[in-house]
Amino acid sequence: MRATRKWFLLALQALALPVSAKSTTSKVTTTVLSTTSTSSASDILVVVTSASEVVPTGSYLSYTTTITLARNESRSTTETSTLTATNTTITNGTTTTATTTDTAVQLSGTRVLTSSSTATSSAGANSQPCNGYTEFCERKYSNITMVTAHNSPFVKKNNVASNQAYPVRTQLEDGIRMVSFEAHYYEDDIYLCHTSCELLNMGTLEAYLTNVTDWLKENPYEVVTVLIVNSDYVDPSNFTAPIQNSGLIDYAYEPWKIPMNVSDWPTLSEMILAEKRAVVFMDYQANQSAIPYILDEFSQMWETPFSPLNASFPCTVQRPPGITAAEAEERMYMINHNLDIEVIFEEVEILIPDTAQLNTTNAVSGYGSLGLMANNCRAKWDRPPNFLLVDYYNDGNFPGSVFEVAAAMNNVTYNGKCCGTTSDASQPVLSASLGVLLVVTWAGMALTWEML
């Protein structure tokens, strides 16, 4: 049986199918239709007959009191209004209160911000878009709905493990404002792999973040969020070198409080004028006291069920587990709206984007659509989601439908800016509606997918 599994994994490597490495709770039924073995070949047929949610496990931070940090934000600008904040720090039972003065600035349409430039303000109406819309400039970061590219780096032609069609620079040009990805400690560095570096390896985190940083340099009025999935639960110190060497450290936002609730976040214009326009979250093992620019995700944001395997997409809190409704209301939240297919063989779990359903999953309306889930979540929580996580953001009931949904959540008119002109990955079409037949021929190392 071990030999069979070895050949199975080698066959998966040939097609680079994603194999789940995290501990999960799952109820997936697979049926082996037939197994025949000879000295030269073995054919195994696996059918997915039912599947339920995959639940990742990990440690979660909780805070019984907040920690207030010194604000290190400098701005060179003409002051148009004053924001006064009272910071309370509790150290060894001693309370220290400090009052700081900040500026909220009206952006003009002609200014280019650099670390040495002097910004000027216009007394008239703002004409400079922030993250694509002038309306966003004076909104808090926590009061904007952004589209998230799930597994942003995994772009590979004719590969069923891919989650996106365009590289990260194109994603950002099209309007993606959060990028998420699995990161693995591999060969003494951090690599972006889905989900094993032996199966699909898209290179180092440093190289990927360099592309993000270059785009930020070229687009001085944009705020981007990076969500790191710490797949191997390694110490966050392993991520500091890629962030620093890529140059992203120059833009990394450091919050003034741990944890930040929805009312604590600055406006986009404040972040832009401070040139701290990259918010970096990590799902597990983050330590903000030691590394303040890598933010702990789940103490400041919650998520709906991870990697949904059915189109019902409930708007319930899955991670972090056990928080109250009142606690959830104080945090930002992300809806996971990437429909998957899961196959399990010999305890190996395979998650594959259900690309056949993208025209419905990423649609503006209808059962199973992103629009319906976003509206349901807004009704349930009395505020829109902050992040809409999707696969193949460019596909839907029309190109850019996911951005139409985000615009509706933000109460702005969609600017129609989507999607890139060339793609780096085709979308192998798989569907779980009637079941998926996986045919593996060991002798020829060939894998084919057929629809039942």
| Per-residue pLDDT reduced to its tens digit, 24-44 | 443 333 333 333 333 333 333
Q: Look at 103-112, 139-148, 281-290, 423-432 and tell me which has the smallest mean pLDDT.
A: 103-112
- Going by C-alpha positions, the residue among 183, 199, 180 that lies closest to residue 191 is 183
Instruction: Answer yes or no: 150 catalytic.
Output: yes
Q: Is pLDDT of 83 > 90? A: no
70 three-state secondary structure: coil
- At the topology level, CATH places domain 55-410 in TIM Barrel (3.20.20)
* Cα 248 to Cα 152, 195, 231, 243, 342, distances in angstroms: 17, 25, 21, 5, 35
pLDDT tens for 115-155 read 333 344 444 567 899 999 999 999 999 999 999 999 999 99
Q: What is the pLDDT of residue 70?
A: 63
Q: Provide the token pair at 200.
A: 């699909």
CA-CA distance, 202 to 187, in Å (whole number)? Answer: 14
Burial status of residue 97 (CB atoms within 10 A of its CB: 0-12, 13-18, 19 or more): exposed
Instruction: Answer yes or no: 337 catalytic.
Output: no
CA atoms within 13 A on the CB side of 329: 7
Q: What is the pLDDT of residue 75?
A: 36
CA-CA distance, 68 to 178, in Å (whole number)? Answer: 26
| H or E, element range at 3 | helix 2-15
Catalytic hit among 22, 75, 150, 319? 150
pTM: 0.78
345 three-state secondary structure: strand
The arithmetic mean of pLDDT across residues 84-88, rounded, is 34
CA-CA distance, 348 to 8, in Å (whole number)? Answer: 9
Catalytic hit among 194, 276, 331, 337? 194
Phi, psi of 277 (to 5 degrees): -115, 15
Q: Is pLDDT of 436 > 80? A: no
Q: What is the pLDDT of residue 310?
A: 86
CA-CA distance, 412 to 146, in Å (whole number)? Answer: 13
Q: Look at 154-158, 253-257, 264-268 and tell me which has the smallest mean pLDDT.
A: 154-158
pLDDT band at 300 (very low <50, low <70, confident <90, very high): very high
- Going by C-alpha positions, the residue among 369, 388, 384 that lies closest to residue 312 is 369
More confidently predicted of 338 and 160: 338
Q: Provide the token pair at 318.
A: 């899955």
CA-CA distance, 408 to 397, in Å (whole number)? Answer: 16
pLDDT band at 54 (very low <50, low <70, confident <90, very high): low
CA-CA distance, 165 to 340, in Å (whole number)? Answer: 16
CA-CA distance, 452 to 450, in Å (whole number)? Answer: 7
Burial status of residue 310 (CB atoms within 10 A of its CB: 0-12, 13-18, 19 or more): middle
Phi, psi of 411 (to 5 degrees): 60, 40
CATH 3.20.20.190 range(s) for the chain read 55-410
CA-CA distance, 202 to 13, in Å (whole number)? Answer: 14
Mean per-residue pLDDT of the chain: 78
CA atoms within 13 A on the CB side of 139: 19
More confidently predicted of 300 and 19: 300
CA-CA distance, 12 to 8, in Å (whole number)? Answer: 6
